[in-house]
Amino acid sequence: MKPRPIIFDTDPGIDDATAITIAVRNPNLDVRLLSTVGANVEVEKTTLNALKLTEFLGVEIPVAKGCGEPLMRKLRPCPEIHGITGMDGYDFPPVKRKPLEKHAVEAMRNMIMESEEKITLVVIGTHTNIAILFKMYPEVKERIEEIVTMGGGLAGGNTNSSAEFNIYNDPHAAAIVFNSGVPVTMLGLNVTNEARLYRDDAEAIDASGRVGHMIYSLLNHYRDAFMDGGLRIHDSVAVAYLLRPDMFKTQMLPVEIATEGPAAGTTVCDFRAMQRGEKEANIKVVTEIDSAAYVQWIIEEFRRED
């Protein structure tokens, strides 16, 4: 079976790095482009991190620098989670590679329109680049297979009690993407908080080889929970869904994005209105994950031969 063509829109970010590393090394995915956005840390750093990662992995995947600020709000990075560089914990050699000259939005448009097959967008940062892509080049929409996004949730946030980080940082962009008419599959905190890696799992990754050791070194500096309490490697769950949909359950649900007020950035799912036929289900929401299968899956992914 031909590998599935994907583009990552990403803010590496230690969990982004884990997701990208797995995807790049799996023969069932064809990573065509890494487009970066400012979110976990500033876009200059997320772009450098994407270059560091692809150089370390020995792959020539193009990296294109995207938007540094959300559409309307001020960016609130979180170096306290990923470190000041955005990928603290591993001493990568100096980077030789350069990003594309083109802005990420232009690079995505060209990649999508020139591809024979439809492309899946894997959005694991804010949705700023994607919203601008759709506004500037709406013709790309019919060339996109699906948007698989880590963001939002069905019960509470991680940035405040209500909103998840990726949506919180650019709710206006997320609203444009969720209402774009392009099929969106949402992996929110309701599942990514259930996919936890513990110390012995992380040590199994460390023992798997050079690449696993690099990821383990990053995870030792990742502050979204701790190894003994269970690491939440949110973005890796989006790749798990692409490669092993059997580990998940989904449901079409009506999801709206709150864009103003104290709850801005909340993904609001109006179950009752759907039951009454008052709202259309517009988003495929991932509702369940087989957490034990996920842990086994991620360890096996790092045991792949280089």
**Chain residues in the site for Ca ion (CB under 5 A):** 11, 13, 16, 124-125, 235
Which positions from 119 through 138 interact with ligand RIB, judged by CB under 6 A?
124-125
Active site residue 234: yes
Q: Which is nearer to Ca ion, 235 or 301 (CB)?
A: 235
**Residue from 4, 6, 8, 16 in contact with ligand RIB (CB under 6 A):** 16
Measured between alpha carbons, how far is 76 from 159 in angstroms, rounded to an integer? 10
Measured between alpha carbons, how far is 263 from 257 in angstroms, rounded to an integer? 10
Q: Is 70 in the site for ligand RIB (CB under 6 A)?
A: no
Measured between alpha carbons, how far is 210 from 296 in angstroms, rounded to an integer? 19
- Least distance between ligand RIB and beta carbon 73 (Å): 15
Q: Is 302 in the site for ligand RIB (CB under 6 A)?
A: no
Q: Which is nearer to ligand RIB, 52 or 109 (CB)?
A: 52
For residue 234, report the phi and psi dihedrals to the nearest 5 degrees.
-45, -55
Crossing angle of helices 14-25 and 291-302, rounded to 10°: 70
- Binding partner of 158, given Ca ion, ligand RIB, none, CB within 5-8 angstroms per partner class: ligand RIB
**Residue from 13, 38, 99, 212 in contact with ligand RIB (CB under 6 A):** 13
- Least distance between ligand RIB and beta carbon 138 (Å): 26
- Binding partner of 47, given Ca ion, ligand RIB, none, CB within 5-8 angstroms per partner class: none
Which entry of 82, 127, 172, 234 is annotated as an active-site residue?
Answer: 234
Q: Residue type for 147, please? A: I
Q: Is 218 in the site for ligand RIB (CB under 6 A)?
A: no
Other C-beta atoms closer than 10 Å to the C-beta of 277 total 7
In angstroms, the Cα distances linking 142 to 5, 18, 50, 270 are 15, 29, 28, 27
In angstroms, the Cα distances linking 32 to 9, 19, 121, 133, 236 are 11, 15, 10, 17, 18
- Binding partner of 301, given ligand RIB, Ca ion, none, CB within 5-8 angstroms per partner class: none
- Binding partner of 164, given Ca ion, ligand RIB, none, CB within 5-8 angstroms per partner class: ligand RIB
Q: Which residue is nearest to ligand RIB (CB)?
A: 165
**Residue from 166, 180, 185, 193 in contact with ligand RIB (CB under 6 A):** 166
In angstroms, the Cα distances linking 229 to 60, 109, 114, 196, 226 are 36, 41, 45, 8, 5
Contacts of 144 (CB under 8 A, 6+ apart): 112, 118, 119, 120, 121, 182
Q: Is 248 in the site for ligand RIB (CB under 6 A)?
A: no
Contact assessment for residue 286 and residue 186, using Cβ atoms and an 8 Å cutoff: yes
Q: Is 158 in the site for ligand RIB (CB under 6 A)?
A: yes
Question: Which H helix or E strand runs over 21?
Answer: helix 14-25
- Least distance between ligand RIB and beta carbon 158 (Å): 5
Which positions from 30 through 69 interact with ligand RIB, judged by CB under 6 A?
39-40
Measured between alpha carbons, how far is 37 from 47 in angstroms, rounded to an integer? 8
Catalytic residues: 234
Residues that bind ligand RIB (CB under 6 A): 11, 13, 15-16, 39-40, 124-125, 150, 158, 164-166, 234-235
